[in-house]
Amino acid sequence: MTDLWVRQISDDSDHTSYRWYEPDSGEQGSGPLSAMAEQWPEATLTLLVAGTDCPGRRLTFKPEEKRHLARLVPFELEADLAQDINGLHVALGLPVQGASEVAVCYIDRRELAAEIDALEAHGLDVRHCYSESLLLPATASNWVLRLTDNQVDVCWGVGAAASIDLSMLEVLLDAILHAPAVAGVTPPQAMQLQALTQQDLDRLHAQLAASAMVQSWQPDLVTMLLTGTWDGICAAPADRVSSAIPDLRQGDFARPVRWQKIWRPVRLPLMAAGGAALTFVLVTLLEIQLNNQRFGSLQQDIELAYREVVPAGMLVDAEQQLRTQLGQLRGTGGGSVLALLHRLTPQLAQNSQVSINRLGYNGGSSPTDLGELQLSIDAASNTDILQFSEQLNNMDLQARAQNMTQAGDRQQASLIVTGAAP
């Protein structure tokens, strides 16, 4: 992004012209606004306005007024100005630490707005705006007087400057001589005279040497021949301009946030990040959908497997129910159902008098519990049932016959068989 210093040199409404200076390369030139915008598209500008259009001065304030200077200063100026203060834009610099003075400049609102709007209509960004005369590198002991186009910019310290026609220079100096406190000046040790041509430099020197101020205060007159219109102006990067010098881009004329310029450099990274985030979300959703389908298919397989084993009954959690039933069948104490049936089956095969109607098994809930085999049997007589129970007890099994009843010509009973305690 290019940073330019610009200054209007012609205000013809049809062909407004500017001169510009690019601090990094030192390139400078002049021409119509359209040509400047074409050569430096979307450049950020530090705009200079003529000192005659934007006078500057220093005002004193009390410590308790410092927080309210922006509201108080316009009223301080109103008594000294011949125009309506509401039509002016008043800009303040930052007060120097420990000082009780602040630099102030003011300009017609309509003129400033028109110039800024014209530049920004061509895609340029006016970041800062200063009065040209305030940028002269002057101090209280070393004044700077600069003559260009028959106009003299006089600066006698930070934030203290005036711009007048060369013919009025002597009048200004006499006013300062007779009321230095009003102008906030002290007799300088030196005065630096600047001009673009030797002839202008001689004219400026002659006027100054003949003034009553110079004859009274007798400062050293130092001449400097400028090599160009930007020479002698503080045209360094705008960020290095002293904060004590008022920047007109404040208050109602504060530079707005340029969202478009902020968006352009971050557009591609943000789009890439957004694309990556969207891809991640889509992949995650797809993976969740596929996992849900796999889980549903697995649940169906589990339920089918459960129904193959248990065709009827309530199905809540097939896996847990199968595990519970399997644990009951395997047992955890005196033996599993298979072990009990293995020992019981030979006795049933040898005893033709006894038959089994129903069989159930209840596994132990802890390692010390014994699995219990529940048989519903029938026989020709109670004696056969009791003999069968005695045979099982002789095999180190615990068999107990109970609930013996008669059904027709047969005797029925419930036989509880458990493994022997360890």
CATH code of 10's domain: 3.30.420.380
CATH assignment of the domain containing 368: 3.30.1360.100
Q: How many CB atoms lie within 10 A of CB 119?
A: 22
Strands 56-60 and 101-108: antiparallel
For residue 57, name the pLDDT band (cuts at 50, 70, 90): confident
* Pick from 413, 396, 224, 419: nearest CA to 338: 419
The domain tally of the chain equals: 3
Q: Examine the pLDDT at 198 and tell me if it is beyond 90.
A: yes
Average pLDDT over residues 136-145: 91
* Predicted pLDDT at 223: 92
Average pLDDT over residues 85-94: 89
Bigger pLDDT: 76 vs 263: 76
Q: Examine the pLDDT at 245 and tell me if it is beyond 80.
A: yes
Q: Examine the pLDDT at 409 and tell me if it is beyond 90.
A: no
Tell me: do 125 and 141 sit in the same domain. no
Tell me: do 105 and 242 sit in the same domain. yes
| 8 A C-beta contact, residue 388 and residue 351 | yes
Tell me: do 103 and 250 sit in the same domain. yes
Q: pLDDT tens, 153-184?
A: 999 988 888 899 998 998 989 988 888 887 77
How far is residue 413's CA from residue 405's CA, in Å, rounded to a whole number? Answer: 6
Report H helices in 310-374: 318-330, 337-350
Tell me: do 157 and 195 sit in the same domain. yes
Q: Which of 139-153, 226-240, 258-272, 356-370 has the highest mean pLDDT?
A: 139-153
Amino acid at residue number 79? A
Bigger pLDDT: 289 vs 72: 289
Tell me: do 108 and 251 sit in the same domain. yes
Tell me: do 118 and 152 sit in the same domain. no
**Residue where one domain finishes, among candidates 180, 197, 232:** 232
Q: How many CB atoms lie within 10 A of CB 18?
A: 25
Instruction: Report DSSP letters for 16-82, one per residue.
Output: -EEEEE-TTT--EEEEEHHHHHHHSTT-EEEEEE-TTTS-EEEEE--GGGGGGHHHHHHHHHHTT-S
| 8 A C-beta contact, residue 191 and residue 214 | yes
Phi, psi of 381 (to 5 degrees): -150, 165
For residue 13, name the pLDDT band (cuts at 50, 70, 90): low
* Predicted pLDDT at 79: 75
CATH assignment of the domain containing 216: 3.30.420.40
* Predicted pLDDT at 264: 65
Tell me: do 154 and 32 sit in the same domain. no
Bigger pLDDT: 202 vs 304: 202
Distances (CA, A) of 339 to 237, 309, 420: 97, 20, 12
Residue 326 within any structural domain of the chain: no
* Pick from 237, 181, 211: nearest CA to 5: 237
Q: Strands of 397-407's sheet, edge to edge? A: 355-362, 372-379, 410-419, 397-407
As a whole-number percent, the residues of the chain with pLDDT over 70 amount to 88
Residues 6+ apart with CB under 8 A from 372: 361, 362, 364, 416, 417, 418
For residue 333, name the pLDDT band (cuts at 50, 70, 90): very low
Residues 6+ apart with CB under 8 A from 173: 208, 211, 212, 213, 214
Which tokens is 229 given?
């219109």
Residues in a beta bridge with 88: 108
Query: Inter-axis angle of helices 198-209 and 169-178, to 10 degrees?
Result: 40
Average pLDDT over residues 70-83: 80
* Pick from 47, 185, 178: nearest CA to 116: 47
Q: What is the mean pLDDT of the chain?
A: 83
Residue 199 within any structural domain of the chain: yes
Residue 309 within any structural domain of the chain: no
Residue 64 within any structural domain of the chain: yes
Tell me: do 222 and 117 sit in the same domain. no
Average pLDDT over residues 356-370: 67
Longest dimension (CA), the chain: 157
Range of the domain at 209: 137-232
Average pLDDT over residues 265-290: 89
Phi, psi of 15 (to 5 degrees): -140, 70
Residue 271 within any structural domain of the chain: no
Tell me: do 177 and 76 sit in the same domain. no
Tell me: do 122 and 17 sit in the same domain. yes
For residue 368, name the pLDDT band (cuts at 50, 70, 90): low
**N-terminal to C-terminal alpha carbon distance within the chain:** 92
How far is residue 183's CA from residue 155's CA, in Å, rounded to a whole number? Answer: 11
* Pick from 159, 158, 155: nearest CA to 172: 155
Tell me: do 6 and 54 sit in the same domain. yes
For residue 216, name the pLDDT band (cuts at 50, 70, 90): very high
| 8 A C-beta contact, residue 30 and residue 96 | no
Residue 245 within any structural domain of the chain: yes
Residue 287 within any structural domain of the chain: no
* Pick from 374, 391, 376: nearest CA to 337: 374
**Residue where one domain finishes, among candidates 221, 256, 291:** 256
Phi, psi of 419 (to 5 degrees): -70, 155
* Predicted pLDDT at 58: 85
* Predicted pLDDT at 358: 83
Residue 380 within any structural domain of the chain: yes
Q: pLDDT tens, 103-114?
A: 899 999 999 999
Q: Examine the pLDDT at 14 and tell me if it is beyond 70.
A: no
Tell me: do 64 and 143 sit in the same domain. no
Least confident among 12-16, 74-78, 356-360, 395-399: 12-16
| 8 A C-beta contact, residue 153 and residue 51 | yes
Average pLDDT over residues 181-208: 90
